[in-house]
Amino acid sequence: MNATARFIGPVWGSLILIGLVLVAIMALGALAGIGESVGDLALNAKGRLADVDTSKSHAGEKHGETLASQIRHCIDNGGHIQTWFNHQTGRYIEVCMLQTPDGENDDEHFGLRVCEDDPDCGFAEITAFDIEGNANQVEWYLGGRGYVDITPP
């Protein structure tokens, strides 16, 4: 075997191995993107969930009807700022910035509405509750529970 043949064999083997690794990485990236696109399909043009049924929610019982109503009103009337999705649970969380009693935005007080797909009505609210902290702390809280931000840019 001449020197050229001894050199080309390992080179082709290395190139084939690199190609297979790249194909595997692209396949994993495509699979990750599929999950993101499923969540994106649920959002309306404003980045919000469409048709949310609140009739079975425990928000009023567990967190108070006044707070639950305030969060719903905030989300449904322009206060919605983000939508998050959890690929493991299939649940969505809509986030809004709540207002102070005098009507000013409170950048340390957020409302969260937890929803899931419902074949009968689009989406069903599971609960709604508030959380204290700044926007970064809210994002850290949601990310730590397996949620990813799917809000359109």
User: What's the average model confidence in pLDDT over 81-87?
Assistant: 95
**Residue-averaged pLDDT of the chain:** 78
pLDDT at 11: 52
Per-residue pLDDT tens over the stretch 31-69: 344 344 444 456 666 677 877 888 889 987 888 899 999
Q: 78: phi > 0 → left, psi -120 to 50 → alpha, else beta; which?
A: left
Distance CA 113, CA 95 (A): 7
Q: What was the pLDDT predicted at 102?
A: 84
User: Which 3 state secondary structure label does DSSP give 18?
Assistant: helix
Q: What is the reported pLDDT for 30?
A: 37
pLDDT at 28 over 50: no
DSSP run (H or E) holding 16 = helix 3-41
For residues 115 and 95, what is the distance between their CA atoms, to the nearest angstrom? 11
For the four alpha carbons of 103, 97, 80 and 93, in that order, the dihedral sign comes to negative
Residue 124's beta-bridge partner residues?
A: 53, 116
pLDDT at 107 over 80: yes
Inform me whether the pLDDT recorded for 18 exceeds 70: no
Place of tokens 């902290």: 133
